[in-house]
Structures are given as C-alpha cells and as structure tokens.
C-alpha cells in the first residue's frame, strides 16, 4: 500500500541527498518551451526525445498518436519519463488547441522553409513540433502553425534523424535561456511545489498510481 501523498510524509522517506537533488532540479524546470512529437513510429526516437527533454529541463512533451500509437524503448528512456509530464492526444488539432489555450505559439520543423530557428522570437512561449520519420508534420499542422523553421545545416543531406534534430534544437533553446538568465523561465512556485510532490510520490511509491502520462480528450 502506498504512502499518503503528503509532502512532509514523503520527505521523511527520502535521503537528504535525494531531497536536495530533486529540489534543485525542479527549480530549473521550465514550461516556456515544450516539445511535440507528431505521429513518430520509432520507439527509439520517441524515447530519445523524451530523455533529452528531461536532460535539458523541459518539463512537458506532447505526443500525437493519431496515426501511430505511442510506444517507447525503456532501455533508451533510462527512467527519465518518471520526471516528465507526457500528454498523449488521439487528435492532432486537439493538441494544437490545448497548446494555444496555454499561450504557446506553434513552431513546426520543415525542410520547405528558409526560416532558421535562430530567426524565431524565443521570448514567446513556444511549442516545437517534430514530425514523423518519413512524412514530417501533417499538412493540417503546417497550415495552422504560427511559424515554420529549420535547423542550421551546411551539408548535402536534407535532414537529420528526428531524435538528433530534437537534441540539436533543444541545445539552441538552452543557449537562448542561458543568455537571458535561465531563472526567468523557471516555473511559478506553486507549480514547482506540485511537481516536487509528484516526483517524491513517484520516487517513494512508484508510478503505478501516479503516472507521468496524461491522455487528453479520452
């Protein structure tokens, strides 16, 4: 039977070192940027992007599975999803609607634009879409996006592997936040407290009763 989801009770169940680690990490989490995976089918790629987002401190990953069901490779994830907020959608336009309700601009990776990610106004909260391995983002997504962008590249090959592209993109986003002062993009205190409570609960009791996955619209 799991412990009550109470901060004081949970803190008593973890070491001081773990408490300090979780607190310092949650203080560096951000929702200013988020990643959106649209109908990726390779569990390796999905898992790699989620793991990389966790490393770079992006709390939310939104996953559209209108064509391809969500599937992950746990050996790639390395437990990183425990510290994430993962939102799954059966309908791509519902995902975009929910993101816009949260105040995000929609930026879609595309090989058919001359706009670099470096040209975007990153001071705005922005959701970055990565499309499926063979077809890219859906035409409806491209039609309703606020921005199309591509990553700077100088070779002959047209595009990168999607998980590599995600890692490169998040590096650019991290450099932007560092230059601006990453504390400007931190979560409000109430969100930090709620997230820390979730993390402590998952660490102590596991994810069976407190899943990081939220299915939206079901």
Annotated binding site: 151
DSSP H or E stretch at residue 96: helix 92-101
CA distances from 108 to 36, 77, 145 (A): 9, 24, 7
User: Which uninterrupted H or E stretch holds 148?
Assistant: strand 147-149
Q: What is the spatial distance between Cα 183 and Cα 177, in angstroms, rounded to a whole number?
A: 8
Bridge partners for 38 per DSSP: 64
Please tell me the total number of residues recorded for the chain in this structure. Answer: 218
Question: Where is 63: in which H helix or E strand?
Answer: strand 60-64
The secondary structure element, H or E, covering residue 77 is helix 74-77
Q: How far is CA 131 from CA 36, 166, 184, in A?
A: 8, 11, 29
Sign of CA dihedral 37, 165, 35, 194: positive
Q: Give the number of other CB atoms < 10 A from CB of residue 194.
A: 13
Q: Which residues participate in the annotated binding site for S-adenosyl-L-methionine?
A: 151
């Amino acid at each position: 039977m799991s412990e009550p989801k109470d901060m004081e009770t949970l803190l008593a169940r973890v070491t001081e070192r773990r408490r300090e680690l979780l607190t310092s990490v949650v203080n560096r989490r951000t929702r200013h940027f988020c990643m959106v995976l649209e109908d990726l089918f390779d569990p390796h790629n999905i898992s790699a992007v989620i793991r990389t987002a966790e490393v770079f401190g992006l709390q939310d990953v939104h996953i559209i599975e209108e064509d391809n069901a969500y599937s992950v490779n746990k050996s790639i994830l390395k437990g990183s999803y425990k510290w994430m907020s993962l939102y799954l959608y059966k309908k791509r336009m519902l995902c975009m609607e929910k993101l816009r309700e949260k105040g995000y601009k929609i930026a879609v990776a595309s090989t058919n634009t001359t706009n670099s990610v470096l040209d975007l106004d990153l001071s705005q909260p922005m959701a970055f879409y990565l499309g499926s391995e063979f077809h890219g983002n859906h035409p409806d997504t491209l039609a309703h996006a606020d921005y199309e962008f591509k990553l700077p590249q100088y070779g002959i090959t047209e595009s990168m592997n999607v998980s590599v592209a995600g890692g490169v993109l998040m590096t650019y986003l991290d450099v932007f936040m560092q230059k601006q002062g990453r504390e400007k993009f931190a979560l409000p205190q109430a969100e930090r407290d709620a997230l820390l409570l979730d993390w402590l609960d998952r660490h102590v009791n596991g994810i069976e009763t407190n899943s990081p996955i939220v299915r939206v619209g079901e």
